[in-house]
């Protein structure tokens, strides 16, 4: 049988697809792209965590800002910081928690609709939570969450993601 060499969408490695192994070792994440099943699963896990982190940040900011919350602006600025500074949603949330809940600073600006404090306290917050993490490691609990601040935030909405890993559409006209 002729070899059909494709490039994995996620890890970039070239591999030969065997038709009867579709869904076992390889799959099509997009109609004209191929990937290892293993790489697709890793990607899915990563994405799920990121969506969860986004939701927690979003819930916190929305609760504090109420009517002043502007989703488009919020999304735009957080996306820009991720791109320009390699921030994470979880890191941005921790920055806000650190500045407002741990340090007890006034929430006036936050409530007016600004999250512009994040770049000014991101590294401090990172160090603070890293110390807590290390202390927990030393104590042998391995659970740094037990020592972090208790704050009132809405429980993130549990989202069950549809299984997007396997492409079930039937458009198969697209051989490479």
Question: At closest approach, how far in Å is the CB of 60 from Zn ion?
Answer: 35
Check residue 39 for interaction with Zn ion (CB under 5 A): yes
> Per CB under 5 A, which region of 4-12, 49-57, 119-127, 133-141 contacts Zn ion?
4-12
**Would you count residue 6 as binding Zn ion (CB under 5 A)?**
no
- Closest-CA residue to 117 (of 137, 130, 138, 102): 102
Residues 78-97 interacting with Zn ion (rule: CB under 5 A): none
Phi-psi region of 140 (alpha: psi -120 to 50; beta: other; left: phi over 0): left
Strands (E), the chain: 5-7, 14-16, 26-30, 33-36
Only segment of 6-14, 83-91, 103-111, 149-157 that touches Zn ion (CB under 5 A): 6-14
d(CA 20, CA 36): 14
Q: Which residues have C-beta within 8 Å of that of residue 163, sequence separation ≥ 6?
A: none
DSSP structural state of residue 66: G
Query: Residue 33 interacts with Zn ion (CB under 5 A)?
Result: no
Count CB neighbours of 126 within 10 A: 15
Pairing of strands 26-30, 33-36: antiparallel
Residue 11 is a binding residue for Zn ion (CB under 5 A)? yes
Check residue 22 and report its DSSP letter.
Answer: B
Residue closer to Zn ion by CB (options 148, 167) is 167
One residue of 8, 96, 115, 118 binding Zn ion per CB under 5 A: 8
For the CB of residue 13, give the shortest distance to Zn ion in the complex, in Å: 5
Of 22-30, 35-43, 58-66, 159-167, which segment contacts Zn ion by CB under 5 A?
35-43
Near Zn ion by CB under 5 A: residue from 7, 17, 22, 36: 36
Nearer to Zn ion, 39 or 110 (CB): 39
| Binding-site ranges for Zn ion (CB under 5 A) | 8, 10-11, 36, 39
């Amino acid at each position: 049988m002729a070899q059909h060499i494709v490039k994995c969408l996620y890890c970039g490695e070239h591999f030969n697809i065997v038709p009867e192994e579709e869904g076992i070792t390889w799959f099509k994440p997009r109609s004209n792209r191929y990937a290892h099943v293993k790489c697709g699963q890793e990607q899915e896990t990563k994405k799920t965590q990121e969506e969860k982190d986004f939701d927690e940040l979003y819930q916190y900011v929305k609760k504090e800002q109420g009517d002043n919350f502007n989703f488009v602006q919020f999304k735009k600025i957080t996306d820009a910081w991720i791109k320009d500074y390699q921030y994470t949603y979880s890191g941005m949330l921790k920055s806000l928690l650190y500045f407002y809940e741990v340090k007890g600073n006034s929430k006036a600006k936050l409530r007016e609709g600004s999250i512009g404090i994040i770049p000014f306290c991101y590294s401090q917050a990172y160090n603070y939570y890293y110390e807590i993490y290390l202390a927990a490691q030393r104590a042998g609990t391995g659970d740094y969450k037990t020592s972090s601040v208790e704050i009132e935030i809405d429980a993130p909405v549990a989202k069950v993601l549809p299984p997007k890993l396997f492409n079930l559409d039937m458009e198969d006209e697209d051989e490479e």
